[in-house]
Structure 1
Amino acid sequence: MGVFCHAGKDMEIFLMYRSLYMYRNRYGGLPLHRKIFGGTGHHTGGGGAISHLLRVAPGPLFRTEGSSVFLWCNASGLSVGAFEWSVFQEHSPRRKLQIVSSVDPDFSYAIFQERVRGKREIYLEKVGEDIARLHITHLRAQDAGEYECYTPNPTHRYHGAYSASVTLKVIPALLRVSVLSPQELTLHEDDPLSMVCEVSSSRAQHTHFSVTWYREDSDSTQPLISLSKLSIVSAGPSFQDRHLAGQLRLEKVSPVWYQLTTSSLQPTDQAKYYCQATEWIQDPDRTWYPLTTMRSQVIRVFVQSPGTLPMDRAPDVMSAVRSAATRNEPPRIFFPFRLLLPLVVWAVRYDESILILLPLVV
């Protein structure tokens, strides 16, 4: 209830404070009796000891639409027979709506009955005798409000706090993740590779991002390298040696750009790549909570050996050979390719049955 009386006091005192509590003078989520008496929750105004205390997570808590949340309620002291959760919705703060009870199946108001009984979108989980969690598996915008946990007292002797409340804010999911690269890249073995992941969120609250690049081939999907919400870089288990050797890096090069760099491509690097980002917010209890996670589109990277003729040009070569054969003359093919030297493009000219290498300096 959030109020208490000495044993033997007239119940009118208790009922008066209960009425005050129900009219919600909005004391920032703290039980009302603690504001009225100015105590710490350990002693009554007249020196009587408090034997029952109810606690919930400190608020406000920010969660995104469509995500899940659980609100815990911890009772200490006297044995607890039941837990009841209600809400004062943000758009109607003076109206108390009953959500769910651990003992009364008819406790829920009609507005919540389908979500409690039908979809099981809202349910109460008891963790032992003294802890209960209210679960909402799919948050809606109208779920924002002040949530009250209450433990009915059948003895009618009140020594402590029997209700506590926490404010829940439901905010839109604003995280955006994309890769600033073509959908396909064709490079050569030992070439460097750089790709940029753009991560942004137009949110008023202070949040952090964590970013991870993944490599996906026919056998598995592996994390390449990550930047944590606290800006700590760590490589995936299969890529730690390359990271320690400086061949694999992940850097934040602008407020929204996270650049993956591989200094020297290997044949096994031919695969699909994407980045995944999570937006984190710090709750009032100093723990970090993942608001939203999103991944980018996939980038395909093709790695060719030095001097290899690109597959997309092979039909052109064969077509030229067949055309020359029908005219009974040697084919003339001019096609540039790279041969080990990074600053020289070598061209092959097939003329009069002779292969000629022509260096073109770039």
Structure 2
Amino acid sequence: MKMDKCFLTVVVGVLMLGGCSARVVTLSPGPLIRVEGQPLSIRCDVTEYSGPREQDFEWIMTSEANGPRIKIISTFDTAFPHASLSKRVASGDISLVRLEDNEVELKIAELKALDAGFYWCETPSTDSVIAGNYKAQVQLTVIPNTLQVSALTPPPIVSEGSDLTLSCNVTRQLTYPTYLSVTWSVKRGTTSEDILTFGPQGDVVTGVKYARRYADGGIRLVPGKNGAFELVISRVMTSDEGIYECNGTEWTHEDGGKWIKIVESTREMGTVAVTPTGQSLSVKATSSSSSSSLLLTPGETLTLLCSVASDNLPALALEVSWLADGRDLITMERSGVVISNTSSSGGAPGNRGEASLERTGSGEYRLAVRGVSGEDGGAYTCRIRAFIEKGGRSSGGGGRWHMAAEKTSSPVTVKVAQISE
């Protein structure tokens, strides 16, 4: 009679969008691939049931598809576990967590090879009519942990504006279809930031603060052979100081399109300090005379040399200016364009000589003032502004620069003799 009544209700229910429910038990999609020694969690829920809101669950496994049933754990029967598993349940290595009235999670803290098999989630019926499925099955494969992560130690000190290469090697034995990813991160104090992740499907994900530098080419990924990967940070800044780490992760791609992290290993690469440009940048102004003063007669040419030195000189774009008594006389911009304040186009007052500025070598800049007069006397200093491009070399940085340091030389005193009439 109950079956007939239910059948009639279903028929009417189809027309009235109501009627009997059919119990549905659902497990995490599988098959599952997990790593020995790592944790496991499998969720199970039941829907479309009648009776009490809080449902009970029983977990059972078989080592083979049709092998003997081994009771694992139950929500209501403390004597449920098989003798071979009772100690693991008692210790908490195997546990059952209720997430909702109709959902639980089976957890194994440390997987063993013998845990591989078929897992069944079963729900005792509370329905007035038997309809639907009361259990679900998922297969678990347990593979050995073969993940290997190693890293080369980076240089402990690098100069601002130079390149930093971070080398990491991530491998595993491919016995099942798993995938790898490698992540570089940097720690400063208690804060850790991801720089870049490659994988698990050949994709690249950058940390929020590094997205633009990667887009500009200032951070480059260089994949190698046999699990070798290099991350090159171009033109490092003082903010790049920190403790660098390399993380290797093994993933599985399960039914339902989810990427599941199954094991990971992190290696500390080393601490990197960045020497600020201003710490090694120096500038010196000299004349042909060995003394700090120079005496000229009217009409002669004043020649002064500005010498710039720095540990990271090749990485710097220099703006070089000569000043006379603190006033800008002539400037060579970092692009190489020279702007003079003594030429007629510059509207220079008085009868000053015409100045020119040229680069004569690496870090060497020569000032020439032709046809000096009394107004050209004074204290001459060379001012250097050192810029570093924020972007990478490949993209030209998109015009993004920052001034790393500014230095001014000691003065050279220039005197122009008065001619007696």
Q: TM-score range by the shorter chain?
A: 0.5 to 0.7
Indicate conservation of the 8 Å contact 1:208/1:280, yes or no.
yes
Q: In the alignment, what sits opposite 1:301?
A: 272
1:70 equivalent among 41, 49, 65: 41
**Pair 1:211 & 2:185 matched:** no
Offset at 1:207?
2.2
Which of 170, 175, 200 is residue 199 of structure 1 equivalent to?
A: 170
State the match for 1:147 in structure 2. 119
1:52 is matched with which residue? 23
* TM-score normalised according to structure 1 size: 0.65
Contact 1:307–1:339 (8 Å) recurs in 2 = no
Corresponding position: 1:84 with 2:58? yes
Q: Separation in 2 of the partners of 1:250 and 1:214? A: 14
Deviation at 1:62, TM superposition (A): 0.6
Work out the CA distance in 1 between the residues paired with 2:61 and 2:190.
Answer: 49
Question: 1:324 is matched with which residue?
Answer: none
Structure 2 CA distance for partners of 1:219 and 1:290, relative to 1, 3 Å:
closer
Aligned pair 1:289/2:222, yes or no? no
Question: Are the equivalent residues in 1 in contact too, given 2:183–2:197 (CA < 8 A)?
Answer: yes
Q: Give, in angstroms, the shift of residue 287 of structure 1.
A: 1.2
Asked which structure has the greater CA Rg, the reply is 2
Q: What's 1:320 paired with?
A: none
Superposed displacement of residue 149, structure 1: 1.6
Task: Give the Cα separation in 1 of the matches to 2:255 and 2:127.
Answer: 35
Residues 79, 102 of structure 1: CA spacing in aligned structure 2 closer, same or farther, 3 A cutoff? farther
Q: CA deviation at 1:280?
A: 1.1
Which runs of no fewer than 5 residues in structure 2 stay unpaired?
A: 5-19, 281-309, 316-360, 364-421
Whole-Å Cα distance in 2 between the matches of residues 138 and 217 of structure 1? Answer: 32
Q: Which amino acid aligns with 1:61?
A: L
Alpha-carbon separation, structure 2, partners of 1:237 and 1:156: 55
- Could you say which structure has the higher strand fraction? 2
The residue type equivalent to 2:104 in the other structure is A
Distance in 2 (alpha carbons) for counterparts of 1:339 and 1:153: 76
State the partner residue of 2:82.
Answer: 109
Alpha-carbon distance between aligned partners in 2 of 1:185 and 1:284, rounded to the nearest angstrom: 45
| Equivalent residue for 1:238, pick from 209, 224, 230 | 209
3-state SS in 1 of match to 2:139 = strand
Query: Tell me, which stretches of 5 or more residues in structure 1 are unaligned?
Result: 1-5, 9-48, 310-336, 347-362
Alignment correspondent of 1:161? 133
Deviation (angstroms), 1:234: 3.3
**1:204-231 residue CA offsets vs partner (Å, 9 max, x unmatched):** 2222222221122346322222224233
Task: State the Cα distance separating 1:307 from its structure 2 match.
Answer: 9.7
CA shift in 2, pair 1:154/1:224, >3 Å: closer
The answer to whether the 8 Å contact 2:49/2:126 transfers is no
Q: 2:236 matched to 1:265?
A: yes
Which letter maps to 2:137?
Answer: S
Cα distance 1:264–1:105, how it changes in 2: closer, same or farther (>3 A)? same
Identical-pair percentage: 27
The alignment partner of 1:297 has SS state of strand
Query: What SS is found at the alignment partner of 2:210?
Result: helix
Q: Is the 8 A contact 1:79 1:130 kept in 2?
A: no
Q: What SS is found at the alignment partner of 2:92?
A: coil
1:182 to partner: Cα distance:
3.6
Deviations 1:18-73 (A, max 9, x none): xxxxxxxxxxxxxxxxxxxxxxxxxxxxxxx8833333233321111122222222
Q: 1:62 to 1:340 in 2, by over 3 A?
A: same
Among 103, 126, 147, the residue aligned to 2:98: 126
* DSSP-derived class of the 1:110 partner: coil
Distance 1:142 1:7 in 2: 43
Partner amino acid, structure 1, of 2:60: S
Calculate the TM-score normalised by the size of structure 2: 0.56
CA distance in 2: counterparts of 1:79 and 1:112, whole angstroms: 32
